[in-house]
Amino acid sequence: MNDLADRLPPYARAMGIRMNGMLDGAPLLTMDFSDRAMGRPGYLHGGAIAGMLEIAAIMALHAELGEKGANVRIKPVNISVEYLRGGVTVETFARGQVVRAGRRIANVRAEAWQADRDKPLASCWMNFLIKPRKA
Amino acid sequence: MDSMPERPTDNQGGRPAIPAGMDFDPARFGKFMMSHGHTGFIGMQYQSHGDNWVELALPWREDLVGDPDTGVLASGPIISLLDNATSMSVWALRGGFRPQVTLDLRVDYVRAATSGKTIVAWAECYQLKKSMAFVRGIAHDGDIADPVAHAAGIFIQVEADGWARSREAEA
């Protein structure tokens, strides 16, 4: 668990994204609302939401790879974000779901929500390239 | 906040920061962008624009890194840059500001950005409809012929009411 939190990149820390335990088998991320995440006045920036979805997808993949993850590097190949609702000035949650983690490619989905998990702000799919870590 | 609106976008309590229909000057908007909110935090900068395109820049910064081993920027700030560049390209083509929200945005990361280099995003609105705007963009770190990422997205025009919320409405 602590190992996973150690993998949060500097960008995630700068944005105030934190690990908050596991939810249904995948890491749950939280982000307090702050000016650094605001787009149009009173709402989350779409890029801040997408950035959080990406971190959720990456952390879900790290959790899925477990021990194997130490020997590989994961590279985001692409992302498609669907925006469903405006994000307001409250805490935001995000969770990724690994659809498939193969030898070379991983397909991951992620969702972000606020007060109600059944009313997501945005969702995404992401593809990753999995490469052996050079010794 | 007294109550959470069922759909935050339906909130009628606020007033937009920029009135709908106002002339849009990308350079002026760029200055505003640099000093406010998420765009200000990550250090987004306006560079130039044309009839249907806008170019923005994002200088490399250590706290925006996604991979500490390589110093490569996280993809989040690159999406934010492409989101703003594509969004502003719509207003550039309209010749005026109109509230809009991102419907979807797809980004292909064709290669890792070089550590330490400024990312430049060039984006255009290639099709403008009454309620929708179709956009695409390229992010690079010095040579547009050797891009870092490609983006394609759609923006939807929305009502000015509730598009933005004032601080008072949030209290």
Residues of B with CB below 8 A from A51's CB?
74-77, 79-80
A82 in contact with chain B, both atoms CB, cutoff 8 A:
yes
- Report the b/e string of B127-147 with b at 16+ CB within 10 A: ebeeeebbbbbbbbbeeeeeb
How many cross-chain Cβ pairs, A to B, lie less than 8 Å apart?
155
Q: Which CATH number do you get for residue A113?
A: 3.10.129.10
- The reply to whether residue A47 touches residue B83, judged by beta carbons under 8 angstroms, is yes
**CA–CA distance, B84 with B120 (Å, rounded to integer):** 12
- The pLDDT tens digits for B50-98 are 999 999 999 999 999 999 889 999 999 999 999 999 999 999 999 888 8
Domain with A51 in it: 2-132
Smallest CA–CA distance, residue A24 to chain B, in Å, is 25
Instruction: Judge contact between B140 and B162, C-beta under 8 A.
Output: no
Considering CB atoms only, which of A37, A77, A82 is closest to B38? A37
- The pLDDT tens digits for A72-127 are 999 999 999 999 999 999 999 999 999 999 999 999 999 999 999 999 999 999 99
pTM of the model: 0.89
Q: What ipTM goes with this model?
A: 0.94
CATH number of B18-170: 3.10.129.10
Instruction: Judge contact between A85 and A121, C-beta under 8 A.
Output: yes
Cβ within 8 Å of A, B 39-68: 39, 41-42, 62-68
Q: Give the number of domains in chain A.
A: 1
